[in-house]
Amino acid sequence: MPSYTDVQSAFLGELRHIAEAGTEISVRGSRTRETRARSLELIDVRERYVVLEGRRNNVFASIAESMWVLAGRNDLAYLTNYLPRAPEFSDDGVTWRAGYGPRLRSWNGLDQLAEVRRILAAELASRRAVITLFDPDRDFIQSRDIPCNNWLHFIARDGVLDLHVAARSTDIWWGFSGINAFEWTLLLEMMAFWLDQRPGRLVFFTSSMHLYERHFARAEQLLERSTTARASAGTRPAFATSWDAFSGEVQEWMRAERAMRTGSALADTDCQLSDPLLRSYARMIDVYWANRRGDPSGDIGARLAAVGDDRLIEAATEFISRTPPSEPPSGAGLPESSGA
């Protein structure tokens, strides 16, 4: 199993492996290059940002979608503001029926995050801290949206909490590097804090790691330019909110997001966020909407400086440099079920 320091290294390494060892297969009319039964591990889960020339990543969408999942939501009224193509992968144009949010936070009324935390808080050595995302009662149907990530398992040993993820299907371009690695490393960082453990490894297994034909040329160009991943050791705000305060903090983040999305600057929202990491993510959303509105570059620069995370600032700067205010953002975390 290959081991990678950070998400960017994993993306490059797995992309190269697909290019060198993948086999071609057509699934529902879409040509892909695929490796099967692929496992990998990520060591530094707080290094979750991908900033590579040619990847055209949308870090703002990764943040917005991850917070949407953690809030237990699956509505497109929110998500389409960051992923304009999201309705193309919806059965009803209103929700993602397989959105992870409700399945994580309200599976028939059960909050799986709360249950996992309760199990491990009672016995850290437990092997029963499992979250299920695939629902056989609902998912053996024809749909544009079937969950690709199916099973999460938290396991604590020697003061370190690991997260193991099993997926049926992983598009490395839009899925793994756009959202999956981001949202699950974020969840691991949070769960580790709630349990007073150090965040450990994210171990990711997928039955099919693949690249769609639409990304063949860009992948080849990216690999020609990128021989090594960039490591960064600068300032990193860390998650630091107790479980009891978490729901309120997420609600406050969502309130501030809505205010910014509808025209307010973060400074005018009376934002009461106390968590360092969630504050930095709210400041990123402030930058995003300031750029979309075409605010002066000096104003955007001041907002960027307030983010307090050099890697986030780098990712935001790369996005802004190639995305004029009038241009809608590109897809970052679109579901794979359109061709998986």
pLDDT tens-digit map of 98-146: 999 999 999 999 999 999 999 999 999 999 999 999 999 999 999 999 9
Strand partners, 216: none
* Residue carrying structure tokens 């690991």: 162
- Which of these ranges, 164-173, 237-246, 329-338, has the smallest mean pLDDT? 329-338
Q: What is the tens place of the pLDDT at every residue in 1-24?
A: 999 999 999 999 999 999 999 999
**274-279 mean pLDDT:** 98
Residues 210 and 34: beta-carbon distance below 8 Å: yes
**Residue linked to tokens 């899925």:** 175
pLDDT value at position 230?
58
Query: Percent helix, strand and coil across the chain, each rounded to 5?
Result: 45, 20, 35
Catalytic pick among 51, 76, 116, 148: 148
Percent of the chain with pLDDT over 70: 94
B/e letters for 49-67, b = 16+ CB within 10 Å, e = fewer, are bbbbeebbbbbbbbbbbbb
| Confidence class for position 157, pLDDT limits 50, 70, 90 | very high
- The whole-angstrom separation of Cα 176 and Cα 334 is 10
- Only one residue has tokens 């025209």, namely 263
* CB distance 79 to 65 below 8 Å: yes
Q: What is the pLDDT of residues 22-67, one digit of tens each?
A: 999 999 889 999 999 999 999 999 999 999 989 999 999 999 999 9
Query: What's the CATH code, domain 3-225?
Result: 3.30.572.10
pLDDT of residue 227: 62
Mean residue pLDDT across the chain: 94
> In angstroms, rounded to a whole number, what is the distance separating the alpha carbons of residues 116 and 153?
9
pLDDT for 334: 62
165-174, 175-184, 224-233: least confident range: 224-233
Neighbours of 227 (CB within 10 A): 8
| Cα angle 194, 200, 202; round to 5 | 105
pLDDT of residue 339: 41
Q: Which amino acid, one-letter code, is at 227?
A: T
User: pLDDT tier at 324 (50, 70, 90 boundaries)?
Assistant: confident
Tell me what pLDDT residue 328 has. 59
Burial of 284 (0-12, 13-18, 19+ CB in 10 A): buried
Whole-angstrom Cα distance, residue 149 to residue 172?
A: 13
Those residues whose C-beta lies under 8 Å from the C-beta of residue 216, and which sit 6 or more positions away, are: 33
pTM of the model: 0.95
Query: Is pLDDT at 338 greater than 70 in this prediction?
Result: no
Structure token digits, residue 123: 């016995």
| Mean pLDDT for the stretch of residues 146-175 | 98
In terms of phi and psi (left: phi > 0; alpha: psi -120 to 50; beta: otherwise), the region of 185 is: alpha
User: CA 297, 300, 302: angle at the middle one, nearest 5?
Assistant: 110
Q: Are 99 and 73 in contact (CB under 8 A)?
A: yes
pLDDT of residue 188: 98
Contacts of 251 (CB under 8 A, 6+ apart): 71
Q: Is 271 a catalytic residue?
A: no
CA torsion through residues 181, 182, 185, 188, sign: negative
Kindly report, residue by residue over 206-259, the tens digit of the pLDDT. 999 999 999 999 999 999 987 655 555 677 899 999 999 999 999 999 999 999
pLDDT digit string, tens, across residues 58-67 = 999 999 999 9
Residues of the chain with pLDDT > 90, as a percent, come to 89
- Mean pLDDT value of segment 137-159: 97
DSSP assignments along 22-68, one per residue: -EEEEETTEEEEEEEEEEEEES-TT------TTT---HHHHHHHHHH
Q: What per-residue confidence (pLDDT) applies to 233?
A: 60
Confidence of residue 323 (pLDDT cuts 50, 70, 90): confident
Spans of all domains in the chain: 3-225, 243-327
Reduced to 3 states, what is the DSSP secondary structure of residue 170? strand
> What CA dihedral angle connects 199, 202, 203 and 206, to 10 degrees?
160
Specify whether the CB–CB gap between 263 and 41 falls below 8 A.
no
Q: What is the mean pLDDT of residues 69-74?
A: 98
